[in-house]
Amino acid sequence: MENKKQQWSSSLGFILASAGSAAGLGNIWKFPARAYEGGGGIYLIIYILIVIFLGAPLMIMETSLGRYTGKNAVSAYKSINKKWAVAGYFGVVTGFLVSCYYIQLGGWVMRYFVAYLFESVKLFSSPDTFFYNMLGANGFPFLSAVFYPVLFLGVCIFVIFKGVSGGIEKFSFYVMPLFIILLIVLLVRSVTLPGALEGVKYMLSVDITKFSFSALLSALGQAFYSLSVGLGVMITYGAYLKKDCNIPKDTAFICLFDTFVAVAASFIIIPAVFAANTPAGSGGSFVFISLAGVFESMPFGSLFGALFYLLLFFAAVTSEISIFETVLVFAENELNFERKKTTAALSAIMLIVGAFYTLSQLYMPLKAFWFDVSDGLRLVSFGDFIELFTDRLTIPVGAFLSCVFAGFIWKKEHALKEIETGAKNGFRFKNYWLFTVRYIAPVCVFVIFVCGMFFGVSVS
């Protein structure tokens, strides 16, 4: 069964599903800290410009390639030039590895949603103890490494099995409005907290002296990773598009929504931490430990904490659905595997590998070697290794290859014709688009790769 035999029933369904895929966990628990460290308002402006002038053209490119070929992330490249199938393989491998730990993070989020509903007293009494116990400080972390990840993945598989229009699209129609409502409720609650105004002022301040080269790299990396460039997701979703869909217009809405979520998350997190006098941060320790103090300090904190983790759950599940679908369709089409058996096999492997991600955090400190110029060869946890391997190696390499492919291998007349198909007023920025995918984007991705891989600069 090829991808093109399934289709989105409408452009709106495609937009909502793709926006859900883009607006993942990174938008909510990574972006606010990056924005804070990058100077607040100036970072937001630079990020928005990057999304408009760099991210959108790349999303247009991958979506158009998917619709043009109607195939999965590997076959799309292979059908145009067999040698370039490697670009698709990078995306699929990355998607598989990201799924392994994303399923675990989704499980952690579900665990905390339940905790804020029923165990808030225990959680607030010692947030760090609760978090480390979840990771296995008192023994095998069955709930966080097995039970909740299985439950999280089960939700994703249930949606995927319903098909594109009857599952992913329908799920997005219900979930994305709820996602927006939750986002607005939490935003209003955060900015109206006593002392939150200082955080709002910081995020609105535009001081160019606070912006640095590392902040620029951070904004570039955040834009690339948030929009899933190089993962094959938009190729897969693009393959389900009808020919009358306006790709440039639809892509603009997706980028707009993704940026809105990231910016709104910043105005939820930063004012709240200012109000609670808590240092802004990113990653698990901040989201699961530091934010507990923020929620404890506000009226009805356990309720708003539960709403926040429900928001994270929606972000995680819509992203994981798109990634899992990309890997599943590849295995189904390229390797001729039966869908249900493939789903079962992939799920088992991802859950096993992912369990070691959680176990390596504390309970079973599995180690792997990693190298960069700044720190040399060093041991890192298995979980850190997977994230470093994808964030600093496979994602930028896959994105670089996809840019070179679109700019120099895929005939420009074919690419531009596909982009213009369904666009009633044509594509006004064809020259800029071609210049971007040929020259600007590959250079930016290469800089991200070098700085991240060889100098240990965090750009994601």
Residue linked to tokens 């439950």:
151
Topology given in CATH for the domain delimited by 3-455: Hydantoin permease (1.10.4160)
Q: Give the per-residue pLDDT at 370.
A: 87
CA-closest candidate to residue 316, choices 29, 90, 35? 29
Q: Give the per-residue pLDDT at 4.
A: 43
Residue linked to tokens 């076959």:
75
Tens digits of per-residue pLDDT, 336-361?
888 888 999 999 999 999 999 999 99
CA-closest candidate to residue 391, choices 235, 180, 221, 146? 221
Q: Give the per-residue pLDDT at 431.
A: 93
d(C-alpha 117, C-alpha 114), whole Å:
5
Kind of pairing, strands 367-372 and 376-381? antiparallel
Q: Give the per-residue pLDDT at 153.
A: 97
Residues of the chain predicted below pLDDT 50: 1-4
Extract the tokens encoding 236: 């897969």
Tens digits of per-residue pLDDT, 299-308?
899 999 999 9
pTM of the model: 0.93
Q: What are the residue boundaries of the structural domains of the chain, listed by start? A: 3-455
Q: Give the per-residue pLDDT at 334.
A: 79
d(C-alpha 196, C-alpha 188), whole Å:
11
Q: Is the backbone of residue 365 left (phi > 0), alpha (psi -120 to 50) or beta?
A: beta
Bridge partners, residue 381, by sequence = 367
Q: Quick one: three-class SS letters along 255-308?
A: HHHHHHHHHHHHHHHHHHHHHHCCCCCCCHHHHHHHHHHHHHCCCCHHHHHHHH
